[in-house]
Amino acid sequence: MQAASVIRIFHNPDCGTSRNTLALIRNSGVEPDIIHYLQTPPSRPELLTLIAAMGIPTRVLLRTNVAPFEALGLANDRFSDDELVDFMLAHPILINRPIVVTPLGTRLCRPSELVLDILPNAQQGAFSKEDGDAVIDIKGKRLT
pLDDT in tens, 103-120: 999 999 999 999 999 999
- Confidence at residue 144, expressed as pLDDT on a 0 to 100 scale: 73
Give residue 124's pLDDT: 95
* Residue 2: inside a domain: no
Task: Give the CATH number for residue 91.
Answer: 3.40.30.10
pLDDT surpasses 90 at 4: no
Cα separation, 139 vs 75, whole angstroms? 44
Q: Which domain holds residue 46?
A: 8-136
3 found inside a domain: no
Per-residue confidence (pLDDT) for residue 3, from 0 to 100: 44
Residue 111 is predicted with a pLDDT of 96
Question: How many domains does the structure of the chain reveal?
Answer: 1
- Domain assignment of residue 1, yes or no: no
Query: What positions carry a catalytic annotation?
Result: 15
Residue 95, in any domain of the structure = yes
Question: In Å, what is the CA distance from 70 to each residue of 56, 74, 80, 89, 91?
Answer: 22, 6, 17, 16, 12
